[in-house]
């Protein structure tokens, strides 16, 4: 069986659609495309445009990188670092110190 990261875009699109109990018609209507377009994407005859891919990610509560995969092996680490930095921007200084203290316990 393929890992999720090994699935093609068409297979991921179909898997997400089914996981959300959506029909091709429902997805097509939500994305303002035809059901045939969705079928062609799922059967890997065409690729989604970036605009439609963005709307599909929103529709299925997914990220673009989850849909299209990693461009290079280092991307995943960079994305994790960026996510940590983004979350830390919301944390006050007192809580940041607690996080630092906790990390020191784990890694020093």
pLDDT band at 75 (very low <50, low <70, confident <90, very high): low
* Whether residue 76 has pLDDT greater than 90: no
- End-to-end Cα distance, the chain: 39
77 pLDDT more than 70: no
Question: Do 17 and 62 sit in the same domain of this protein?
Answer: yes
Q: Does residue 70 contact residue 5 with C-beta atoms inside 8 Å? A: yes
Indicate whether 53 pLDDT > 50: yes
54, containing H or E segment: helix 50-59
Q: What is the mean pLDDT of residues 35-64?
A: 93
Residue 81 and residue 38 in one domain? no
In this structure, are 28 and 13 located in the same domain?
yes
Residues 62 and 86 in one domain: no
Give yes or no: residues 61 and 79 share one domain.
Answer: no
For residue 27, the enclosing domain spans: 4-68
11 and 60 together in one domain? yes
- How many other CB atoms are there within 10 angstroms of residue 46's CB atom? 13
- Per-residue pLDDT, averaged over 76-91, amounts to 80
Tell me: pLDDT of 32 over 70. Answer: yes
Number of domains in the chain: 2
Q: Are residues 88 and 62 in the same domain?
A: no
Evaluate whether 54 touches 8 at the Cβ level (below 8 Å): no
């Amino acid at each position: 069986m393929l890992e999720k990261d090994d699935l093609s875009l068409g297979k991921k699109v179909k898997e997400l659609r089914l996981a959300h109990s959506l029909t091709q018609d429902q997805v097509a209507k939500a994305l303002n495309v035809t059901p045939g377009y969705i079928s062609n994407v799922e059967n890997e005859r065409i690729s989604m445009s970036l605009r439609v891919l963005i709307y599909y990610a929103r529709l299925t509560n997914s990220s673009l990188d989850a849909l299209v995969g990693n461009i290079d092996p280092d991307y995943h680490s960079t994305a994790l670092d960026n996510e940590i930095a983004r979350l830390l921007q919301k944390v006050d200084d007192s809580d940041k110190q607690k996080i630092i203290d906790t990390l020191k316990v784990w890694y020093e």
